[in-house]
Amino acid sequence: MKQKFKEIYDDNGIYIEPLNMDATMKEIEHFIEQIVIECAAVCEEHPSYGGRMLADLILKKFEIDLRYAPDDGPLTDQQIKMIRAASSATDIPDEKFKDKLF
């Protein structure tokens, strides 16, 4: 069990056994509420942080390691074509946009 989760369990007197189908919604909501409070505390401790830096701090606090697939480089012409075909903005001429992603 991750240490931070154990601390929340211990501090609040709750423990939800993995795969426990009898856990009440009240128990689950209380546990989630405690996690949100912990995340808010991280935000308050680091008011100048934003975005990725803040997310990294929260993930570290809860010992969560997200493994992202490595960036495979810029979009190919085929990928751009597929995105444009699926986009609701396809019929808007390019010159109407101030900023473009690609």
Span 42-82, pLDDT tens digits: 888 888 888 778 888 888 888 877 776 677 788 888 888 88
Where do the domains of the chain lie? 3-61
d(CA 60, CA 10): 20
Choice between 58 and 16, residue whose per-residue pLDDT is larger: 58
Give SS3 for 34.
helix
Predicted local distance difference test score (pLDDT) of residue 2: 78
What is the average per-residue pLDDT within 5-29? 76
Cβ contact 5:62 at 8 Å: yes
Return the percent helix, strand and coil in the chain, to nearest 5.
55, 0, 45
Any idea which of 3-7, 65-69, 84-88 has the lowest mean pLDDT? 65-69
User: Mean pLDDT, to the nearest integer, of 2-17?
Assistant: 77
Q: Give the tens place of pLDDT for each residue, 18-34.
A: 777 777 777 778 888 88
Find tokens 């709750």 and name the residue: 14
